Amino acid sequence: MPSLGSTGGEAGAGKEPTTMSEGVSDADPIAVQAGHGDADPTAVLAAHWNESERRLYPTATTNPDAYQSAVKLVRAVADALADVSDLGELVQRWEHRTAVLDAAVRATGETVAYGLIEATAGCGFAIRRRELLNERAERERRERITAARDAGETWVVIHEQGDLASGLADPCQCMEMHLPTGLAVVSMVEPDPSTMTPVYVVTVTDTGEPGGRMPGIDAGSFEDLETADPELFEHNRRAMRSQVENWQP
């Protein structure tokens, strides 16, 4: 089966949207929704920060008061990093995490739980990292939509992750936006709840993009297409794209 984001055809209706890996930089597994490309400078530290969350948050079940205090501190750490504008700068700021945490303690009046100084700081950095990734994803999404409109395209891939051949190990998901309507065809692999085997789903969602909306059309105008046969996945995707392009009230 071809890549869900393969290219081909003439510009305009029916053309396969450009893949997110072309002209967009982002290789982080969390931010792959925004594209592929430059290595993430926080990739190694992210594992440490995620482990901090696994250490800190389970305290909610044993000491709710300490948990609430920790949550306030973590949020204060993330807020103290609001001036950090990119992932590289976040890595540099980690070298000064003690000072960042001290500022959070002063701002909240809370006390860091014994043995959780590093974990509390790590959780705050993890939050700011996700915020930065989301901000970058949104910027790149806007850039791709703008570029596609300027080029006279009809479709553009605004989200792409996973590997179709890997099944549920690395589930494939692709979101192709139809520029004239603002609707998106979403092709994804999900587990069947009863058998836990791959189900290949194609659905339509509303991206919320303003302008160009056809009267009376919305995501509810289209029924989902599901199959257990991966060979039908691409067929269903193309069929749904055709339905969106040719929709009549």
- For 167, left (φ over 0), alpha (ψ -120 to 50), or beta? left
Shared domain check, 215 and 171: yes
Task: Indicate whether 68 belongs to any domain.
Answer: yes
Shared domain check, 122 and 68: yes
Eight-class DSSP state of 16? B
Eight-class DSSP state of 6? -
pLDDT in tens, 169-189: 888 899 999 998 889 999 999
From residue 6, give the alpha-carbon distance in Å to each of 9, 119, 129, 226: 10, 43, 31, 21
Full domain range(s) for residue 164: 1-18+153-249
Task: Indicate whether 246 belongs to any domain.
Answer: yes
pLDDT over 70 at 3, yes or no: no
Shared domain check, 247 and 171: yes
The SS3 of residue 200 is strand
Task: Indicate whether 230 belongs to any domain.
Answer: yes
Q: Residue 247 burial by CB count (10 A; 0-12/13-18/19+): exposed, middle or buried?
A: middle
Q: With beta carbons less than 8 A apart as the criterion, state whether 29 and 170 touch.
A: no
Query: How many domains is the chain built from?
Result: 2
pTM, 2 dp: 0.69
pLDDT in tens, 40-98: 899 899 999 999 999 888 876 788 888 889 999 999 999 999 999 999 999 999 999 99
Task: Indicate whether 31 belongs to any domain.
Answer: no
**End-of-domain residue from the set 74, 105, 136:** 136
